[in-house]
């Protein structure tokens, strides 16, 4: 698959024209980065962006773009990047970058994946990490993890535990103006949040019995968190005295997952795999809102008890038939059973005793039985590889409680990916696909938003959004590190999921009609030795995008709502429905000194959320992060990282109307200004 040669003492991949879709990097290629884990190595694969997959129901639809020994682990909550952190770098034989469908590899809908190939031996390896985090003015956060990989008889297993106590705080001001742009109120908000728990207790194991490979994956997690926000409000231009509102919340959330799969050759040309995954989560939350007047008397008190229990059971079969040398036929069959139980009790006391407030769809049970099927053929024609197929999905969603109804859906899902690879230095891909989004059950039920004095109402009439995707990308590689990839895309959306008005005051997640998005994505990795920066590289990625949908309130054309407000803690997300994102990262590895340093900076366009009687605009400044790390002492990696060094300003511009947005007079305007604070983390990690 690759022919390593030695250049300046380092093994580098040599491109093999016989397999232009696969580039293989030996473990020694990553030695300059002083990796301790498989994740450290994957992050340095030239031209690759790790994706853990979407938080969706189902197994195939939520797949990330990482494989381990040519297979995806049978896990969802235990995401593959976390699994990679528990695999020591010494256990990695080589890493394959697969750009297009190849035989025996299930790409799970991705055009590019990374395949981590491990060394099979019986060595016992222990990996550990501990860290301290400081976010001014919050107390120190601490955490750590330890994992062990070893072989017992014929069973390879990896066991680990991850503990963390996190703290964060944020403060800011809010300026409120009336319809004539007169200042009527000033606010000072101070929020503190703490959480402690087990991020995960993990067990992954595999063994081969009678030519069948069995894999087992499990995870248990638990979190207990508390938060408080004090909002001091000062009326302006009136004789009304100041007052304050105190928001408190506490939550607990245990999670459990187990996954089992079995894979074997059914005959010389047929491979089969069976997968079972079960996940369960229980979230209990208590939120209160207390209004205190200037004399220290409580004038209003609200309390909401929210319980959300979710579960998912998945059974999946995968078959791969390679009877002909130029065709590889695969079939995937998946069935899933999902449930969500939501209970909400809201009480309010204005001085005469608590009174319960009814919230529509606050107490509901949602369940879904879903099945999908996909059959594909990978047809190899010299430099061309055509991966095409047809899938279908059927589901029945039943909701009981505050709403009783039952609905069924059926979708046809064709897919086509044509790749042209004259050599490993360049590849062109043309991708067409129909994608069906998996509905978020939390959108079916209601909850409260105390800080905005609002309700987030659920919608039992949601339909899945479908998207016809057309994407054309070209990749060009230069040497062993340089790569440039340009992708142009156009997506046609049906039953767009946005915010649907149900009155002049409330909206709910809903389908608002058809829309489209289009744009381009540019990614590059550039070595910087040509400007005398030995061991340095620059990674740049940018996305430019536009979109259109008909606004259900005004009837005019507008952009899609961008629901990712402020990700927090500071991190700018690359994928969103705004106009642009730019992310630039620099790294230099001084291999002889066993030292590395670098920085990254990112900025993005504003994000607008279109509500029925409000227009919200979110923006922030330029995010800058930096790090320095070394392995000079005892092989221990010491890393100091600073995030959000500019402490950029988060701005929320909230424009409220007397009734429906933009066709009714303005009621008021709020400007919320907050700084998410700088975060410094000192990490010690090692393996033996």
Specify the long-range contacts of residues 613-616, CB closer than 8 Å, at least 24 apart: 613/504, 613/505, 613/656, 613/657, 613/658, 613/659, 613/660, 613/661, 613/664, 614/654, 614/655, 614/656, 614/657, 614/661, 615/654, 615/655, 615/657, 615/661, 615/662, 616/565, 616/652, 616/653, 616/654, 616/655
CB neighbours (10 Å) of residue 298?
12
The answer on pLDDT for 2 being more than 50 is no
- Tell me the pTM: 0.88
Can you give the pLDDT at residue 72? Answer: 83
The answer on pLDDT for 17 being more than 80 is no
Query: Mean pLDDT over residues 631-642, rounded?
Result: 93
Tokens (6 digits) for 9: 């003492």
Mean of per-residue pLDDT scores for the chain: 88
CB 145 within 8 A of CB 153: no
Give the chain's radius of gyration (CA, Å).
27
Can you give the pLDDT at residue 52? Answer: 74
How does strand 66-68 pair with strand 112-118?
parallel
Residue 28 phi, psi dihedral angles, 5° rounding: -65, -20
Which burial class, exposed, middle or buried, applies to 453 when counting CB atoms under 10 A from its CB (0-12, 13-18, 19+)? exposed
Q: Which residues contact 185 (CB under 8 A, 6 or more apart)?
A: 174, 175, 176, 233, 234, 235, 236
Query: Mean pLDDT over residues 537-557, rounded?
Result: 95
Can you give the pLDDT at residue 50? Answer: 83
The answer on pLDDT for 664 being more than 60 is yes
The answer on pLDDT for 322 being more than 80 is yes
Angle value at C-alpha 662, between 658 and 667, nearest 5 degrees: 30
Q: Rounded distance, CA 285 to CA 344, Å? A: 10
Each residue's pLDDT tens digit, 377-433 = 989 898 999 999 999 999 999 999 999 999 999 999 999 999 999 988 899 999 999
The model's confidence at residue 9, banded by pLDDT at 50, 70 and 90, is very low
Per-position DSSP letters for 272-296, written without gaps between them: EEEEEEEEEEEEEEEEEEEEE-TTS
Q: Rounded distance, CA 382 to CA 385, Å? A: 8
323 against 639, higher pLDDT: 639
Each residue's pLDDT tens digit, 560-616 = 998 765 555 556 676 678 899 999 999 999 988 999 999 999 999 999 999 999 999
The answer on pLDDT for 16 being more than 60 is no
**270-279, 392-401, 446-455: least confidently modelled range:** 446-455
Can you give the pLDDT at residue 399? Answer: 95
CB 206 within 8 A of CB 215: yes
Q: Rounded distance, CA 540 to CA 519, Å? A: 17
Each residue's pLDDT tens digit, 34-71 = 898 999 999 999 988 887 766 545 676 566 788 888 88
Provide, rounded to the nearest whole percent, the portion of the chain with pLDDT above 90: 64
The model's confidence at residue 509, banded by pLDDT at 50, 70 and 90, is very high
The answer on pLDDT for 231 being more than 80 is yes
Can you give the pLDDT at residue 356? Answer: 92
Each residue's pLDDT tens digit, 106-128 = 666 677 889 999 887 767 889 99
The DSSP call for residue 42 is: H
Instruction: Residue 133: name the closest of 679, 684, 647 by CA.
Output: 679
The model's confidence at residue 101, banded by pLDDT at 50, 70 and 90, is low
- Please identify which residue in the block is written with the tokens 């536009």: 546
Question: What's the fold here for domain 465-688?
Answer: Maltoporin; Chain A (2.40.170)
Can you give the pLDDT at residue 569? Answer: 55
What are the structural domain ranges in the chain? 465-688
């Amino acid at each position: 698959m690759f022919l390593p040669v030695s250049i300046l003492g380092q093994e580098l991949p040599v491109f093999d024209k016989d397999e232009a879709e696969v580039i293989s990097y030996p473990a020694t290629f990553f030695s300059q980065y002083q990796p301790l884990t498989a994740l450290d190595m994957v992050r340095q694969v030239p031209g690759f962006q790790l994706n853990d997959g979407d938080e969706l129901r189902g197994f195939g639809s939520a797949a990330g773009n990482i494989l381990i020994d040519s297979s995806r682990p049978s896990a969802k909550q235990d995401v593959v990047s976390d699994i990679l952190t528990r695999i020591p770098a010494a256990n990695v034989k080589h890493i394959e970058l697969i750009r297009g469908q190849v035989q025996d590899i299930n790409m799970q809908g991705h055009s590019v994946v990374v395949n981590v190939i491990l060394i099979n031996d019986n060595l016992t390896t222990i990996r550990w990490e501990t860290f301290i985090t400081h976010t001014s003015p919050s107390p120190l956060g601490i955490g750590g993890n330890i994992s062990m990989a070893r072989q017992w008889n014929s069973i390879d297993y990896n066991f680990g535990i991850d503990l963390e106590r996190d703290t964060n705080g944020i403060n800011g001001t809010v300026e409120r103006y009336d319809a004539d742009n007169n200042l009527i109120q000033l606010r000072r908000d101070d929020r503190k949040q703490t959480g402690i728990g087990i991020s995960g207790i993990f067990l992954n194991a595999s063994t081969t019995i009678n030519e069948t490979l069995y894999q087992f994956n499990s995870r248990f997690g638990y979190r207990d968190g508390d938060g408080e926000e004090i909002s001091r409000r000062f009326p302006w231009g009136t004789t009304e005295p100041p007052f304050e509102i105190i928001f408190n919340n506490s939550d607990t959330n245990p999670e459990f997952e187990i996954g089992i799969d079995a894979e074997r050759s059914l005959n010389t040309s047929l491979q089969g795999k069976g997968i079972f995954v079960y996940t369960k989560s229980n979230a209990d939350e208590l939120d209160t809102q207390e209004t205190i007047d200037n004399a220290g008397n409580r004038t209003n008190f609200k309390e909401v008890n929210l319980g959300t229990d979710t579960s998912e059971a998945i059974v999946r079969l995968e078959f791969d038939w390679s009877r002909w040398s130029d065709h590889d036929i695969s079939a995937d069959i998946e069935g899933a059973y999902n449930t969500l139980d939501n209970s909400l009790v809201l009480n309010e006391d204005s001085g005469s005793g608590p009174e319960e407030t009814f919230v529509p769809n606050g107490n509901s049970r949602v369940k879904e039985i879903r099945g999908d099927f996909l059959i594909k053929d990978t047809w190899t024609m010299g430099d061309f590889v055509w991966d095409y197929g047809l899938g279908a999905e059927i589901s029945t969603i039943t909701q009981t409680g505050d709403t009783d109804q039952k609905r069924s859906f059926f979708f046809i899902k064709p897919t086509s990916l044509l790749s042209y690879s004259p050599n490993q230095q360049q590849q062109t891909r043309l991708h067409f696909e129909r994608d069906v989004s998996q509905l978020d059950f939390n959108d079916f039920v209601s909850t409260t938003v105390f800080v905005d004095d609002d309700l987030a109402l659920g919608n039992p009439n949601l339909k899945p959004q479908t998207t016809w995707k057309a994407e054309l990308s070209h990749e060009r590689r230069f040497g062993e590190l340089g790569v440039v990839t340009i992708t142009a895309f156009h997506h046609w959306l049906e039953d767009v999921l946005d915010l649907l008005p149900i009155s002049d005051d409330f909206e709910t997640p809903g389908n608002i009609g058809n829309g489209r998005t289009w744009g381009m994505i540019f990614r590059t990795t550039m070595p910087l030795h040509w400007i005398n920066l030995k061991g340095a590289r620059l990674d740049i990625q940018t996305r430019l995008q536009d979109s259109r949908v008909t606004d259900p309130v005004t009837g005019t054309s507008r952009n899609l709502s961008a629901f990712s407000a402020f990700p927090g803690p500071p991190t700018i997300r690359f994928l969103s429905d705004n106009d642009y994102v730019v992310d630039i990262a620099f790294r230099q590895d001084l291999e002889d000194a066993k030292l590395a340093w670098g920085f990254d900076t990112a900025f993005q366009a504003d994000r607008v959320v279109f509500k029925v009687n409000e227009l919200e605009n979110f923006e922030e400044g330029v995010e800058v992060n930096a790090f320095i790390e070394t392995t000079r002492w005892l092989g221990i990696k010491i890393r100091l990282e600073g995030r959000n060094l500019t402490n950029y300003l988060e701005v929320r511009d909230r424009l409220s109307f007397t009734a429906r947005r933009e066709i009714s007079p303005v009621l008021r305007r709020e400007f919320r200004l907050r700084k998410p604070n700088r975060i410094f983390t000192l990490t010690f990690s090692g393996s033996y």
